[in-house]
Amino acid sequence: MLKAIGSKVDLNDKELTTYYHLVGDLLENELVLKMKEFKHHGETTCFQHCLNVSYYNYRICRFFSLNERAAARAGLLHDLFLYDWHTHKPAKGERLHGFTHAHTALMNVKENFYISDLESDIIEKHMFPLNITALPKYRETLVIVLVDKYCGLLETVIPRLKKVCVPFRRIGARLRKAPQE
């Protein structure tokens, strides 16, 4: 089952989801699947992060009647930098990952997929305002700027909250099992 964080919708359900029809080819693409090999935030892989961003991008852009197709597709490709940024050492003179990966991802995407100007803007400028000179040109780009940060926060916080809740859940389970007086 393919799910975005915080959602119960099975994104692999070809019958039910319009979303799948927009990104189905990308979800089966070897390069996109390669992102499963790299951790991004905590235990969340780069692939899962991109899926989370893509799905919420799509939902929000659909709600506001923006280009939901570009939002979904560029969302899925926005972090296609294909290395482990935790261990990646910048070359001499190269800036840190946070400043460079959007451009690296865009170059990888352009080499392997056909993308529109809008999709290119979404990928290249998703790190605004960290990349302060990469000013979003489209409303869809502003959406990813927010969604990317929101998903990053969920991916970092939710697994930690789950860990903290484990002892409380165990106590709750024991209390439910204990005989009533």
Under the rule (CB under 5 A), what is the footprint of Fe ion? 79, 148
Distance of alpha carbon 19 from alpha carbon 58, whole angstroms: 7
Residue 40, helix vs strand vs coil: strand
Residue 36, helix vs strand vs coil: helix
Please state the closest distance from residue 81 (CB atom) to Fe ion, in A.
8
Residue whose CB is less far from Fe ion, 6 or 166: 6
The alpha carbon dihedral of 165, 171, 177, 181 has a sign of negative
Please state the closest distance from residue 126 (CB atom) to Fe ion, in A.
6
Please state the closest distance from residue 102 (CB atom) to Fe ion, in A.
6
Residue whose CB is less far from Fe ion, 20 or 150: 150
Residue whose CB is less far from Fe ion, 119 or 148: 148
Phi, psi of 17 (to 5 degrees): -110, 125
Strand partners, 41: 44
Residue whose CB is less far from Fe ion, 40 or 69: 40
Helices (H), 68-180: 68-77, 97-112, 117-124, 139-177
Please state the closest distance from residue 8 (CB atom) to Fe ion, in A.
22
